[in-house]
Amino acid sequence: MPIVSDAAIALVSDSRQARAALTPIRRRLLEALRTPGSAASLAATLDMPRQKLAYHVRALEAAGLVRLVEERQRRGCVERIVVACADAFVLDPSLVGAPRPAEVDAQDRFASDHLVRTAAEVVREVARMRKAADDEGKRLLTLTLEADLGFSSPADFDRFTAALTEAVAEIARSFAPRRGARRYRLLAAAHPAVANKPTTPTQ
């Protein structure tokens, strides 16, 4: 099945598509094909043989990662113009690991493994819901908040955790799921910032 066309980010949940996209040369092709191109134009851009690139483009098209835009008559042959079905592709975490357990120990909320599993689940769920919304011509309403924090000691981190937990619990009580309401999932997470990465202004 082809991936949703013209999406900014698409979820790759099929193992065949994942295998087709993971080789270095095909990742370069998908990046180059954010704008329409042919094997000939890609050969000039990437400085690689046209015949070799044509093979990989056909493989990406067969996997549903690129789609045909048009065919042009060029010097007695047909030039096929294709484009990537999304600007970026995200691999479904379930392809490379087991799903998160149904029961989570309370202490796991401080474990980085639990954060990674939860983030992977968010990637999978939101990407799939957005695809369904796109198919129906609807917009998926989501919210993302980001802020940079600083903790001088583990005690600071503990105080922040307690304050955030209390605030989230109070807000959740005000917007508890009720009959007829659309259920939402709220995820609050914190992790050490990557060194030398610009700070994120508070939203």
CATH code of 33's domain: 1.10.10.10
Assess if residue 128 is contained within a domain.
Answer: no
Nearest residue to 88 via CA among 138, 44, 127: 127
Contact yes or no for 6/19 (Cβ under 8 A): no
User: Could you tell me which residues are beta bridge partners of residue 80?
Assistant: 71
Pairing of strands 66-74, 77-84: antiparallel
Q: CA 176 to CA 139: how far, in whole Å?
A: 23
For residues 86 and 17, state if they share a domain.
Answer: yes
Work out the angle between the directed axes of helices 39-46 and 50-62 (0-180°, nearest 10): 120
In the chain, pLDDT over 90 holds for what percent of residues?
51
Assess if residue 17 is contained within a domain.
Answer: yes
Q: What's residue 134's pLDDT?
A: 84
Assess if residue 151 is contained within a domain.
Answer: yes
What mean pLDDT is reported for the chain? 86
Determine the structural domain holding residue 76 and report its residue range.
Answer: 7-90
Assess if residue 163 is contained within a domain.
Answer: yes
pTM, entire model: 0.62
Q: What's residue 109's pLDDT?
A: 76
Structural domain ending residue among the three candidates 24, 59, 90: 90
Min mean pLDDT across 83-87, 124-128, 151-155, 195-199 is at 195-199
What does the pLDDT look like over 6-59, one tens digit per residue? 567 888 888 888 888 889 999 999 999 999 999 999 999 999 999 999 999 999
Structural domain ending residue among the three candidates 90, 111, 129: 90
Q: How confident is residue 4, by pLDDT bands cut at 50, 70 and 90? A: very low
Bigger pLDDT: 197 or 188?
Answer: 188
What does the pLDDT look like over 121-131, one tens digit per residue? 888 888 888 88
Q: Average pLDDT in the 100-129 region?
A: 77
In the chain, pLDDT over 70 holds for what percent of residues?
87
For residues 11 and 80, state if they share a domain.
Answer: yes
Q: What's residue 5's pLDDT?
A: 43
Assess if residue 66 is contained within a domain.
Answer: yes
Assess if residue 21 is contained within a domain.
Answer: yes
For residues 12 and 73, state if they share a domain.
Answer: yes
pLDDT at 113 over 70: yes
Assess if residue 138 is contained within a domain.
Answer: no
pLDDT at 147 over 90: yes
Domain count, the chain: 2
Query: CA torsion, points 84, 89, 17, 72, in degrees to nearest 10?
Result: 0
Assess if residue 68 is contained within a domain.
Answer: yes
Structural domain ending residue among the three candidates 62, 90, 118: 90
Which H/E stretch holds residue 86?
strand 86-91
